[in-house]
Every structure is written in structure tokens, then in C-alpha cells.
């Protein structure tokens, strides 16, 4: 792998490709696991594997996350009459305390 990286660094296409050397996804035997002899896989990809998200995309994803959290935690309580009644009572008590 080091030789491949060195050859790629001196070639004309070093800005056009990326090499990734990973352990193969195939099942291995116990003996291969003990001695670290797992079959390798070499991936050849374009120059940019992961793109940085834009600020607009970050805001959109954060907004979606907050909406999902709110809808799964607070929203069900609002439609439960028992809890809604308790919340209304607490709000009325707090309102009376401040007057």
C-alpha cells in the first residue's frame, strides 16, 4: 500500500483519484482472525469522497432534527387530556402567584 501511495503521489493523476485500503467484508476463519490475515480490498474513488455541507443544509438538517424531537416528546403530551389538564392547572396556579 505504501508503494501504491508513493507511485500515485508522483503520477499525473494524484489530484484525480483517492485510494482506500480496507479489510474485506468477507467472513474470516478463526485462524485468519488470530493472525490478522484478512483479505484486503482496494477502493479507487474520485478526488472528493465527502463533500462539506453548506451552511443552508446544516440549518435545514438542524431544523428537521428539532421538529422531530419536539414532535416525538412534547406533541403527544398535548393531545393527552390527563396531562393537558395538569399543565393547565399548573399554568393557572403560576398565573395566580404572580398577580
53 and 32 in contact (C-beta within 8 Å)? Answer: no
pLDDT at site 95: 73
pLDDT at site 99: 64
pLDDT (tens digit, 9 = 90+) per residue, 38-87?
Answer: 777 877 777 766 677 788 888 999 999 999 988 888 777 777 888 878 88
| Residue located via cell numbers 472528493 | 48
| Residue located via cell numbers 508513493 | 6
pLDDT (tens digit, 9 = 90+) per residue, 17-37?
Answer: 777 777 777 777 777 777 777
Answer whether residue 88 shows pLDDT above 80. yes
* E strands in 2-80: 18-23, 40-45
Q: Which triple of cell numbers denotes residue 13?
A: 493523476
Q: Is 3 exposed, middle or buried (0-12, 13-18, 19+ CB in 10 A)?
A: exposed
pLDDT at site 50: 66
2 and 24 in contact (C-beta within 8 Å)? Answer: no
Amino acid at each position: 500500500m505504501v508503494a501504491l501511495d508513493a507511485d500515485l503521489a508522483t503520477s499525473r493523476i494524484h489530484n484525480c483519484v483517492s485510494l482506500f485500503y480496507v479489510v474485506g467484508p468477507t467472513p474470516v476463519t478463526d485462524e485468519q482472525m488470530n493472525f490478522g490475515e484478512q483479505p484486503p480490498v482496494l477502493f479507487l474513488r474520485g478526488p472528493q469522497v465527502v463533500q462539506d455541507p453548506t451552511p443552508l443544509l446544516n440549518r435545514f438538517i438542524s431544523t428537521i432534527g428539532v421538529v422531530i424531537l419536539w414532535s416525538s416528546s412534547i406533541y403527544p403530551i398535548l393531545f393527552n387530556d390527563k396531562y393537558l389538564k395538569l399543565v393547565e392547572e399548573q399554568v393557572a396556579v403560576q398565573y395566580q402567584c404572580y398577580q
